[in-house]
Structures are given as structure tokens and as C-alpha cells.
Amino acid sequence: MTMSKTMKSLVIKKPGQPVWTDLPIPKPVKGDVLIRVEGVTTCPHWDMHILDGVPMFPGMKLKYPYFPGQPGHEAMGEVVAVGKGVKKLKKGMKVVAWQDTGQPRPGFYAQYNTFPEVSLLQIPQRLTPLEIASLELAMCVEVSFQQLAQLGGIKGRRVGITGLGPAGLLAVQLAKAHGASEVVGIDMVESRRRLARKLGADRTVSPNPKTWKADRTGAKALDDAIDCTGFPASIEFLMDRTKRCVTVFGVLRENVAYGPRHMWGPGVTLMGYGDHNVAAAKTALKFVLAGKLDLTSLVSKTLPFTRYAEGVALLKNKKAIKILFDPWAE
């Protein structure tokens, strides 16, 4: 069967205007492979920011039309061609992107995409996009556990997670997989607390300072915590209730107040984010294959790319946790 010379790809022409358009199928250059994309999951804040024309990070500049296929980066598919210098991946293998290589290269919101071999992991042929496309986010969250490993890890410890969106729900599962004795999910939304309990949280609470008083040494105190919101109020809530370390996964845009109360006794450590790395991706994949990490439950709906704006609206209105886009569906 001869492959077409053109493909469908998402292009955000300007803020609020995504277009499903025809583009030439790219050819893999040295070190790259060509992938027939089978499914892509949203990275909610990326998708909402880029579609709305709002920079994700301070100092970030956005230009439109945006790069074809971007901001899609949580993807899986099949290798259909390889460039020179590709050593391990072969035609017909199933792969998942384990890191976002960013711009200026095109993204995965397309029927085909080229990608560096070093940024892909081979996966079992049986896995579906629903089961594995979100591995890149799992890798990102696993980096926070690598940070905590520098202090001795979390085995046998009580761990709190604030922000039970996609990252927080993964953090709940990864905390259990790494041996936490108790995982406490913290979020204002009951439906997300309910899902966190389904995915392994031992208990969940709303971040209400009236019902959970600030106390870093008492019986209710957390041993360690991960913030998946990036909001100073959330981070400070954890710092006031954690004995050893709070590590920040969420994108932080404002200063956090670290005061004398955080230094009393053994002071609480506030730890930033580490670097993306393939070891974190392999650990996340190992947990998926062992049945300890469920990516499927994060996907609220599957849609064709032609309904991209609708999918992002569901995320914005908190009616979905993640959307899986099928590039071949009508």
C-alpha cells in the first residue's frame, strides 16, 4: 500500500482559530523517525494557553500561525520510516514520545510526525493510545519523585498531593508505587477527590485551613508533599503542614513566602523541579506495564482533531481531565 504524500495537521492560525489542514508528510532527517500518529492526549494548560494566545511562562513569546501540530506532544504511534543514524527503532515498532522537544519543530497534532529517536521509547505492540499516550506527563511527574529520592525517598512515609488534575492524579499513583504508607489527595473539587481515591489515595481532603490547622509536627502532619498547582497559597498550605520537604511540580509564577515558622525544629525544605530525563520515563513505563500506573483513567473523552476547540473548551470549563485526540477519526 502506497502512503499518501499529504496528511492532515492542526495549525492554530491565530488565538482561538485552530484549522485542520493539508500539509506534506515530512521526511525523517538524520537521527529522526517518521511516526504514523495513533493518538495524542492533551497537556491541558499548554493547550489552553496556546489556543488562547496566552504565554505559558513569564517571558515566553507566541507567534501565529503557530507551528504545525503544536502544542501536541503526548503521543504514541507506529514507526513507518527511519532516517540515517537511527540505531534501535525499526519500521513497524510501536513507540511513545517520552519528552517534549519543543519548538521550532512541528508537534504531534497531525497524522504523521518526525521525531528524534532519542526522545522515543519502544512499547509493547498491544498498548493503545488510551493506555500509554500520556506517558510524557508521567515522566514529568516522576521527576518530582527523583527529587524526593535525594532526601531518602518516600517509602513508608505520609505524602500529600495538592491539585488533583492530571499531574496530581499521576502523583497519587506514583507515590503509592514508590511505597508511601499513606497518600493524602488535596483538592477543592469533590469529583477529583473521588477519582483520586479510586486511583489509590488513602484519603482526600479539601484545602480548608479551618478544618486542617497549620501544624508541622502533630499527628496529622505530612512527611513530604508535592504541589501540582503552582499557586503560592497551595504551596504555603503544604509548607505549614509538612515535616520534611515540599517539592513544586506546578508552574510557579509568583513568589512563595518562606517564613520563620517553616524553620522551627527541623525546617521544611522547599524543593524546585528537576530535569526531564529518560530514566524517569522508563520508571513510569515500568509502573504502567506492572499495573501500578493507570493513564487510562485520566482521559475523559476521545475526539477527532476536527473537534479540537471543543476538547480544549471542556478542559477550560473543568468538564474533562484530559482529552485523547484521534487523528484518523472523522
**What mean pLDDT do residues 5-21 have?**
96
Task: Using the predicted structure, report yes or no on whether residue 2 has a pLDDT greater than 70.
Answer: no
Task: Find the helix or strand (DSSP H, E) in which 316 lies.
Answer: helix 308-316
Domain architecture of the chain: domains with CATH: 6-134+295-326 (3.90.180.10), 140-271 (3.40.50.720)
pLDDT in tens, 231-286: 999 999 999 999 999 999 988 888 999 988 898 888 999 999 999 999 999 999 99
pLDDT digits (tens, 9 = 90+) for 58-79: 788 899 999 999 999 999 999 9
Residue 185 CA to residue 168 CA, distance in Å, equals 8
Q: What is the pLDDT of residues 81-121, one digit of tens each?
A: 999 999 999 999 999 999 988 767 899 999 999 999 999 99
| Residue 150 in this model has a pLDDT that exceeds 80 | yes
Sheet with 269-271: strands ordered across? 203-205, 182-186, 158-162, 222-227, 242-248, 269-271
CA end-to-end span of the chain = 21
pLDDT for residue 57 is more than 90: no
What mean pLDDT comes out for the span 303-311?
96
Mean pLDDT score of the chain, rounded to an integer?
A: 95
| Cα→Cα distances 132→49, 138, 256, 271, Å | 24, 10, 35, 29
The reported pLDDT for the residue numbered 78 is 98
